Amino acid sequence: MAARTLFEKVWTAHEVVAETPETPAILYIDLHLAHEVTSPQAFATLAERGLPMRRPDRTLATMDHSTPTRTAQVFGNAPVADDAAAKQVRMLEKNAADFGVELFDMRDSRRGIVHVISPELGATQPGMTIVCGDSHTSTHGAFGALAFGIGSTEVGHVFATQCLLQRKPKTLAINIEGRLAEGVTAKDLILAIIGKIGVSGGTGHVIEYRGSTISALSMDERMTICNMSIEAGARAGMIGPDETTFAYLAGRPRAPSLKDWDAAVARWRSLATDPDAVFDASVDIDAGSLAPMITYGTHPGMVVPIHATIPERADDAVERKALAYMGFHGGEAMLGKPINIVFIGSCTNGRLEDLYAAARILKGRKVAPGVQLLIVPGSQQIKRQAEEAGLAEIFKAAGADWRESGCSMCLGMNGDTAAPGQYVISTSNRNFEGRQGVGARTLLVSPYTAAASAVQGRIADPRGMLQ
């Protein structure tokens, strides 16, 4: 058989019907993740047509996007500010019960951001096809799964048939060599990649991240990388499963049991891209020369090393508009700019290692006066782990606001928002206009840079503050 990429192996294994010039492939979906915001219209389609859900056993649901993060609202029966959001949550509870879908509801100890809990449970596994009505489904590609975001109509297709109609995308290899310097993280690496290939550089492609830099990353770090594939326009990003992947999955509740483990690992090993496989395109990145990165504009491709100045592109209308929105000027330094809010969390950087990174900076230090630091764990399990490890105490002693899990200030639809004109240093994934609140200005960074900036009250380089 001809040499194949990881993507091609997973794709072919899930073709119920191969594509033809007239019709797309029918692709079987192993795992479907559902949440409260993009599922109601899809459940309604089933109800309208009198269709059952084909495989509720291949579907997991939780609530994360529109849910509050204040403990009193999650557990204390304090009212949720937004009636519509509360109704959406109740509708997911009803739909999950009606259609027999397993739901991690508001009070479940395993609830959290959908892309955090599925790996944490061991439900995300190498070689799977995974979809969700959320563009950051690309996160799961860190395990060597083919995972991508879909719209609500397609959510309905999967509910009804466990399949999707899909044209086969192209493949893009991103080869990354070199060792990340101290204080430079997976987040800085993916921001640098997006800065290099652009926000539409991956359109039509599935990315495979390859090379010694990627092999050296932990699963939490790999998830940060794959998570932001969509910010480069690629629906999916994948990483070949290896010993790091298997060690992460071993013993997790939904991972294969001990008796099936060896067979599963043997199967997963065979997924790696064959040595002679050919990609449709490739890009090389030198990770060893990277510095902490920060966005200065209104999409993730408008990004510079933290010690750099803002590019001067007065002849570019898009850059002009972005800088006007941000209140910045070409030629200004990023370091030292004042900030209002620091947000540490999201499906990009809300996992336990991200919280350890924040704690490494915040230990024994205080948040600068006038700055709000919001730390939102990616799941309730991570919240408990951070509390048991003493991280939460470090955060609270520093003056941070420590919350229940959820998407929170990554997107302004759950009560956690910034005010017009405020600067938010954020570990999330999108710095679009208004993403964190109408008129709010987002600066995307790593957890190190976010924590360092919280302490200094302005944009700070974390490399001098690691302890």
User: Where on the chain is the footprint of other proteins (CB under 8 A)?
Assistant: 16-17, 21-24, 26, 28, 37-38, 40-41, 44-45, 49, 51, 54, 65-66, 82, 84-85, 87-88, 91, 133-135, 148-154, 156-157, 160-163, 165, 167, 169, 199-200, 203-204, 230-231, 233, 235, 299, 301, 317-318, 321, 411-413, 420, 430, 432-435, 438-439
Half-sphere CA count of 345, side-chain side, radius 13 A: 33
**Contact (Cβ atoms closer than 8 angstroms) between residue 136 and residue 230:** yes
Dist. CA 415–CA 153, nearest whole Å: 27
Least distance CB 247 / other proteins (angstroms): 26
Least distance CB 84 / other proteins (angstroms): 4
Sheet holding 15-17, edge to edge: 15-17, 25-28, 163-166
Cα–Cα separations (whole angstroms), residue 42 to 147, 305, 444: 19, 42, 32
Of the pair 149, 345, the CB lying nearest other proteins is at 149
**DSSP for 55-111?**
-GGGEEEE--SS---SHHHHTS-PPPS-HHHHHHHHHHHHHHHHHT-EEE-TT-TT-
Cα–Cα separations (whole angstroms), residue 52 to 34, 57, 157, 163: 16, 13, 12, 14
**DSSP for 223-245?**
HHHHHGGGGGT-SEEE----HHH
Of the pair 346, 453, the CB lying nearest other proteins is at 346
Residue spans of alpha helices (H) in 284-379: 317-326, 346-349, 352-362
CB atoms within 10 A of CB 410: 29
**Contact (Cβ atoms closer than 8 angstroms) between residue 371 and residue 458:** no
Residues 6+ apart with CB under 8 A from 90: none
> DSSP secondary-structure letter at 188?
H
Of the pair 109, 153, the CB lying nearest other proteins is at 153
Dist. CA 155–CA 119, nearest whole Å: 20
Tell me how far the alpha carbon of residue 243 is from its chain's centroid: 22
